[in-house]
Amino acid sequence: MTTMRVAQIPSAGAPFEIVERPIPEVAPGMVRIKVAACGVCHSDMFAKEGAFPGLTYPLVPGHEVVGVVDAVGEGVTRLAPGQRVGVGWNGGYCSHCNPCRGGDFFACEKESHTITGTTYDGGYAEYMVAHSSAVAVMPEGIDALDAAPLLCAGLTPFNALRNCGAQAGDTVAILGIGGLGHLGVQYAKKMGFRTVAIARGADKAELALRMGADHYIDSQAGDPAAALTELGKARAIIATVTHGPAMTAVMPGLAPRGSLMVLGAAESLEVNPGMMIGGSYTVRGWYSGTAIDAEATLAFSALNGVRPMNEVFPLEDAEAAYQHMMSGKARFRVVLSMT
Ligand SMILES: [Zn+2]
Ligand SMILES: [Zn+2]
């Protein structure tokens, strides 16, 4: 076989088209992956709508990629054909630019392979080629469809939780019970935090508790910060929502020196300086993570039984899958299956 099917965006804003392309060659330092599954993430919107500077089309999105190593380029020693692997948002790093030299690999300035499925072709395809530094090794005991969303929707809250400053037994709140939040609640509980889920509406309570939350706050039923204060305040709030005012509303529920970890790309966020000073609060943006963080996410998930709730579509239905994800009606992650 010398060709593969891909779901490509022909130009910014245009619908997906399914086309045959030659299976790409694998250059030095690169790894070719036979894709088994790829999650459909809200951030695929940057590629789909051209909402990112300097993108080239046609473009294949997809940054929640799971598959098997098919071929490795010259100089790649860490990976070998046959290995089960995953690729997330971080498309690799160069190890030579100033951010890399400072250990900030997520902020690598080499743009050719910075963002999977955005600055280069991603996983809405039967094969993809990734920089070896972007490739995470998969553990046993987790299947491809379950693992795909963990590469972005799982990795992001997992990595934020383990860097939020809270320790086992502390109270941590997860704001928003969607794609990231339903995983964030599972991670928080299994990391040993007293876990509070906050979302809009009483109907999310049952799900939040089933995912492992110790408490549920309906932010529409009253002041969510007051409800969080009644529970003893949170050492950290992991904000997965994309609405700035929803983040602002919960901040007074932070414990002294507490952190608001911002994961959701809201347009703007208002904070009260007096409140920040009084509580010595931190507001911190959190980038998802690199391949080593993805490996930790996958290993933790396999070990502790953390799984996403998925709706699966075949690759041919990429347009329908993307529109379903954008509608906000998906419960909770949309995944493309290549087989
Ligand atoms: Zn994503
Ligand atoms: Zn770099």
The answer to whether residues 207 and 166 belong to one domain is yes
Q: Which residues surround ligand 1, an ion (CB under 5 A)?
A: 41, 43, 152
Q: 105 C-alpha vs ligand 2 centroid, how far in Å?
A: 6
The answer to whether residues 45 and 104 belong to one domain is yes
The least confident of 105-114, 158-167, 184-193 is 105-114
pLDDT digits (tens, 9 = 90+) for 242-282: 999 999 999 999 999 999 999 998 889 999 999 999 999 99
The answer to whether residues 26 and 68 belong to one domain is yes
Q: What's the rounded Cα separation, in Å, for the pair 172 and 196?
A: 6
pLDDT digits (tens, 9 = 90+) for 88-142: 999 999 999 999 999 999 999 887 668 999 999 999 999 999 999 999 999 999 9
Closest ligand to the CA of 114 = 2
pLDDT at res. 114: 85
Range of the domain at 275: 155-285
The answer to whether residues 70 and 127 belong to one domain is yes
Between the alpha carbon of residue 119 and those of residues 156, 184, 197, 266, 305, the distances in Å are 20, 27, 35, 22, 33
The contacts found for 94-100 with CB under 8 angstroms, 24 or more apart, are 95/133
> Mean pLDDT over all residues of the chain?
96
Q: 300 C-alpha vs ligand 2 centroid, how far in Å?
A: 27
pLDDT at res. 196: 98
**Number of domains, the chain:** 2
Question: 285, 300, 322 — which closes off a domain?
Answer: 285
The answer to whether residues 200 and 97 belong to one domain is no
pLDDT at res. 113: 65
| CB of 315 closer than 8 Å to CB of 338 | yes
Report residue 212: phi and psi, to 5°: 120, 0
Identify which of 182, 159, 141 has the alpha carbon closest to the alpha carbon of residue 88. 159
The answer to whether residues 276 and 163 belong to one domain is yes
The answer to whether residues 306 and 270 belong to one domain is no
The answer to whether residues 259 and 326 belong to one domain is no
Share of the chain above pLDDT 70, in %: 99
The answer to whether residues 140 and 40 belong to one domain is yes
The answer to whether residues 31 and 167 belong to one domain is no
Closest ligand to the CA of 334 = 1
pLDDT at res. 112: 63
pLDDT digits (tens, 9 = 90+) for 45-90: 999 999 888 899 999 999 999 999 999 999 999 999 999 999 999 9
Q: 181 C-alpha vs ligand 2 centroid, how far in Å?
A: 30
> Which residue has 């030095």 as its token pair?
28
Strand ranges (DSSP E) for 186-268? 194-199, 215-218, 234-239, 254-262
pLDDT digits (tens, 9 = 90+) for 22-49: 999 999 999 999 999 999 999 999 999 9
CATH classification of the domain holding 253: 3.40.50.720
CATH classification of the domain holding 90: 3.90.180.10
* pLDDT tier for residue 156 given thresholds of 50, 70 and 90: very high
The answer to whether residues 201 and 119 belong to one domain is no
- DSSP letters of 6-43? EEEBSSTTPPPEEEEEEPPP--TTEEEEEEEEEEE-GG
pLDDT at res. 267: 85
Q: What's the rounded Cα separation, in Å, for the pair 94 and 81?
A: 23
Strand ranges (DSSP E) for 88-146? 127-131, 135-137
The answer to whether residues 185 and 269 belong to one domain is yes
